[in-house]
A and B are shown apart, each in its own frame.
Chain A
Amino acid sequence: MKIRRIKFLLLIFYFLYSQEETIEKKINISAEGKGEYWFWTKEDTLLKLSDHLESKFRLLFNYENIYLRTGIFFYQPSLPRKPFKEYYYNFEYASNKFDFLVGNFYQVFGRGLTFRSYLNEDFRYDKLLFGVKGGIHILKSDITVFAGKMKNIIFQENRYQYENDTTDQLRGGEIIFYPFPSIEIGGRYVRLNKEKDITPQAFTEIFGPSISLSYKFFDLYYEFAQKLSTRELIGGRKKGKGHYLATAFTFIGFGISLEGMKYDSIDFGGEGYRYNDVPTPIKEGIAINRGRDEKGFNVSLNFTPWDFFNYEGSYGYLQTEKKDKFVKEIISKIDFKIAEIFENIFNFTYSKKKEIEIKVPRSEDFKFNNEAKFTFDNHTFGLEIPFGIIYDDTQKYKDYGFALEYQYNPYFIFNFSYKKTDKKVFRYDYEDKWLLFEGAFFITQNISFNIRMGEERGGLICSGGICRYEAPFSGIKTLLQIRF
């Protein structure tokens, strides 16, 4: 789309918005614009990047049951890296009993064992569908059907790229009954046709039921999914299955939840990308092979014995069937407050990993972090002290540092941090210290501006079972966000 067309569209939207009063406030228009500009001050030897520009603009136009959405995502790194553009648009009619959508959309079935398409903006991960979707909400039930194609967009090593942009066809449906207020019964089915399928009948399908019970202090959810695919070359059906169970016991001031899962060949998609996303018990977001061969559990609790004290704890474990790969994680967080003036948060995280990170066969991390904040009128002062002991196979090293924060409410926040490691380790980057200044300015209620100057450490970061390597950064990052 050429720039003059964008200008024209923006002027039309502005005109429509200015007419809002005359249509008796039945029109709801909201929009958000976001622009990021990064500038490398130290040469990025690996990727040869010198700057990075990305912007996103989204607009919603709603009149009674009609919704029109449009948006553009634009990414331009310094040459020779390729720019990247993605348009978003859809039309939706949604009433209490019926809805219909054509264009781009996201859809999740159950807890994601059969199908999950979503956007995680913080993690810069987009699983976007293009197609049609319909829904009926009658007789204590919700029925959803869709047909479409998916694109997975991921930000890896400081650039956006497609994980898949295939001709794969996806079709599916879900039905959920609510026979009683405390019971929910669901069923779902998704079919995948690929170009390489030998015949239209040689497709892959995934389906399964779920049940949810809720009674006062007790909640239970169970989902099962079965995958049937065609064996390549030899023919015949190949089976996979997955189980997911979640329960919670909650009382005032105390809550405990338990999760358990077992997945066997339930990965649904292609090499590196998935059309489903099975839940992981690890809070850090790590998965081993995302549904191919995993089993694990998680126990989490939240406890507030006194109003000034809160404890959050979690134990998560995930392994392959043969235990040749595993992750163990313990998280403990203590939050202590004295009136409005003082708050102290202490975090402890322990994790043990085997064959999870490339080039790190085994690792064991002990990480401590203490954050104290003092507030006087509109001024807040913060001090954060992180400390970590890390064992990577044959080497042991320590990470330490501090961060100072000053907030002047409601205008700005400044943060200055210094982090150091006592050994240069390839696991992150070749630096041994990282100095960073951050400023956040709240210019008006609808406009904010952030700036980060200095060095940022690279490493593996994960969310919801998806992991990516964040390349180290040295330079300036700016972010402007506006909305109305």
Chain B
Amino acid sequence: MFIELVKRMKMRYLFFIFLLFFLIFAQEKNDSLKSYKKAPSFSLYNLNKEKVYLDSLLNKGPIFISFWALWCKLCIQELDAFKKVYEKYETLGLKVLAISEDGPRAINNVKTFVKGKKWRYEILLDTDGKVRELFGVGSIMPTSFILDKKGNIRLISRGYRKGDEKKFIKVIEELINEDKKD
């Protein structure tokens, strides 16, 4: 069946896919050689209609950024599971920005949901998806980033699988230890 499937795909599409693969692998090879990529600067409104600037949160500790939406089950599971991580590391400087990708008509529902869930994260509204685009999130949700205090991206996590908190904790602890050394 697989051979039949390949035959049906014309050579030019295979070439196209091959080229894309090449680009990705080439990029991943570069990642290990170069320094960390800086997170793009942005500002967004929070649920209290105050503007929050990423740059003003730097130099205080690690920042966990999660792109989520009300319709995204896995995003909600991730942010639910992260509650305990936040409680543990909040006093050590961890900040959480939960960036909602819901459209303007869902703003009221976002507030109801977040308060009902007892999430204490800073909820930001990216109603036109511009910040999501800047971070290269694409169509995979949730996508989460951990930034060091200088704003460098130290971890990118796409999707959510149960137990992902362990890898988040590992990076957060590394960053907190780095801060202590500084």
Contacts and interface: CB of A to CB of B under 8 A. Distances in A.
B116 A380 contact: no
Contacts of B107: 219, 221
Interface string B37-51: 110100000001110
Interface in B1-55: 1, 5, 8-9, 12-13, 15-17, 19-21, 23-24, 26-28, 30, 34, 37-38, 40, 48-50
B177 interface: no
A250 B115 contact: yes
Given A32-B136, A253-B118, A312-B116, A39 B5 contact: yes
Given A3-B12, A484-B136, A246 B163 contact: no
A304 B117 contact: yes
A481 B139 CA distance: 9
B116 A302 contact: yes
Contact of B115 (A17, A33, A251): A251
Given A255-B116, A375-B163, A413-B161, A108 B128 contact: yes
B140 A481 contact: yes
Most B CB contacts (10 A, CB to CB) among A35, A110, A248 go to A248
Contact of B104 (A111, A409, A413): A111
A30 B115 contact: no
A167 interface: no
Contact of B117 (A121, A256, A302, A446): A302
Contacts of B108: 219, 221, 246-248, 257, 259
A106 B128 contact: yes
A214 B112 contact: no
Contact of B9 (A37, A118, A214): A37
Nearest to B157: A445
A214 B19 contact: no
Contact of B161 (A307, A409, A482): A409
By size class, the interface of chain A is 35 or more
A404 interface: no
A247 B140 CA distance: 31
Contacts of B28: 444-446, 484
Contacts of B161: 380, 407, 409-410, 413, 442
Contacts of A304: 116-118
Contacts of A413: 161
A255 B113 contact: yes
Interface string A89-117: 00000000000000000101011100000
Give chain A's interface secondary structure class: strand
Contact of A375 (B5, B34, B162): B162
Contacts of B105: 111-112, 279
Contacts of A17: 27
B122 interface: no
A375 B107 CA distance: 33
B116 A409 contact: no
A301 B30 contact: no
A51 interface: yes
Nearest to A180: B49
A182 interface: yes
B133 A30 contact: yes
A444 B140 CA distance: 14
A87 interface: no
B116 A254 contact: yes
A18 B138 contact: no
Contact of B135 (A21, A30, A57): A30
Contact of B23 (A10, A37, A214, A378): A10
A469 to B, nearest CB: 21
Contacts of B109: 248, 257, 300
A440 to B, nearest CB: 8
Contacts of B40: 28, 62
B57 interface: no
Contacts of A303: 116
Most A CB contacts (10 A, CB to CB) among B28, B37, B136, B167 go to B136
Interface of B: 1, 5, 8-9, 12-13, 15-17, 19-21, 23-24, 26-28, 30, 34, 37-38, 40, 48-50, 71, 81, 83, 103-105, 107-109, 111-118, 127-128, 133-136, 138-140, 156-159, 161-164, 167
Given A251-B115, A257-B111, 4 more contacts: A55-B17, A221-B108, A407-B161, A445-B28
20 contacts: A7-B19, A10-B19, A10-B23, A28-B40, A30-B136, A53-B9, A55-B17, A108-B127, A219-B108, A246-B108, A250-B116, A407-B161, A410-B164, A446-B28, A448-B159, A476-B5, A481-B140, A483-B140, A484-B23, A484-B24
